[in-house]
Structure 1
């Protein structure tokens, strides 16, 4: 387990990838993530320092369940209120505290859990010569997890800001933190927001 930031090298050629901080996951949203509010100031602080290097992702639900393949149809029949036939457009927008940073921050929409799923993200990062993705957002054990594994598969160095993640499951969050520390050494680094500020200086 990492004991100090001295074990994590400096961060260069990086982007801040902020996952799915949308109204649907905020307080009162259909998929409310209770402790999003707790990490939001930390995420906003990171974005404010790296506005032009931040990419927000948005999980975009289908118009109707039949617009998605396979098991996604069953999923969205269960969550029909989350489809765009029922959900107000504002539900898929970024929370206001972060939306104000776009632009210069970019927004990439995705139809599935991973930020790299059927989106332009991978080619965008490769074109820009990005080697490291700094990850924050929601939820630790769903969309963040899927994005981290995709980034590892694509060869990016992954830096997870552990106090800038949120989940609706404490058990899931804690399990993932343990997995990152013990199973992905050399590919995934965990840092605090304070450590990130010292390690990433553009």
Structure 2
């Protein structure tokens, strides 16, 4: 059983990358998908991004253009959430929140159209080519897009470090449940630490932009 604060395999090192999941305006502002406590964790995400901006990759979830678009159940999904389609929201709402947008460049963005950044993409190959061996994860939601990011990284064999106070969700109960799962069921493959503990072990000395 892992405990919060433990870095089982030592400092992340220069081959780590920070993947910040979906910290976008549509989750921060007054929309149907607003995460109420995003502002609470944002300062910690900013600290982690600022430490090594060249090693930061910000994913962006891109909704369907219009209600009813999408394949299979995604079509039903965007019929239900028609208010969150780009035509209804405005394309600017998929942008990163301003506090993080200014890190790009040197940080990069990575757009995805489903919850997981690994599905239908060459992300894992690009990270391997860049000699990445460790993925530090922040962002939201803990129980949806963060979950798929973590599970994909585990499946591809990356070391995964979760910054526990730099994660957020719109549902407290499932956030808490997922944190228990990360620290226990995935205790051998996911290391859970606070922002302070992470930055004490991953100071601003990593270089090289993942392309």
Please indicate the TM-score interval, normalised by the length of the shorter structure: over 0.9
Residue of structure 1 in register with 2:199 after alignment: 197
How far is 1:30 from its partner?
3.2
Residue of structure 2 in register with 1:2 after alignment: 3
Match of 1:89 among 73, 88, 91: 91
Aligned residues between the structures: 202
Match of 1:64 among 66, 71, 81: 66
Residue of structure 2 in register with 1:74 after alignment: 76
Note if contact 2:5-2:194 (Cα within 8 Å) is conserved in structure 1.
Answer: no
Match of 1:16 among 15, 18, 34: 18
The TM-score, its normalising length taken from structure 2, stands at: 0.91
2:119 aligned with 1:117: yes
| Structure of greater relative contact order (alpha carbons < 8 Å, 6+ residues apart) | 2
Runs of 4+ with deviation above 3 angstroms? 3-8
Match of 2:46 among 40, 44, 47: 44
Q: Provide the rounded CA distance (Å) in 2 between the counterparts of 1:105 and 1:134.
A: 14
2:105 aligned with 1:103: yes
Note if contact 1:19-1:115 (Cα within 8 Å) is conserved in structure 2.
Answer: no
The TM-score, its normalising length taken from structure 1, stands at: 0.95
Note if contact 1:58-1:92 (Cα within 8 Å) is conserved in structure 2.
Answer: yes
Gaps of 5+ in 1: none
Gaps of 5+ in 2: 207-211
CA RMSD of aligned residues (A): 1.4
How far is 1:186 from its partner?
2.1
Residue of structure 2 in register with 1:146 after alignment: 148
How far is 1:4 from its partner?
4.4
How far is 1:66 from its partner?
4.4
Note if contact 1:58-1:110 (Cα within 8 Å) is conserved in structure 2.
Answer: yes
Alpha-carbon spacing, 1:64–1:4, altered in 2? closer, same or farther (3 Å) = closer
Q: Provide the rounded CA distance (Å) in 2 between the counterparts of 1:82 and 1:45.
A: 29
2:28 aligned with 1:29: no
How far is 1:169 from its partner?
0.7
Q: Provide the rounded CA distance (Å) in 1 between the counterparts of 2:102 and 2:7.
A: 34
Q: Provide the rounded CA distance (Å) in 2 between the counterparts of 1:86 and 1:70.
A: 21
Note if contact 1:108-1:119 (Cα within 8 Å) is conserved in structure 2.
Answer: no
Q: Provide the rounded CA distance (Å) in 2 between the counterparts of 1:103 and 1:6.
A: 29
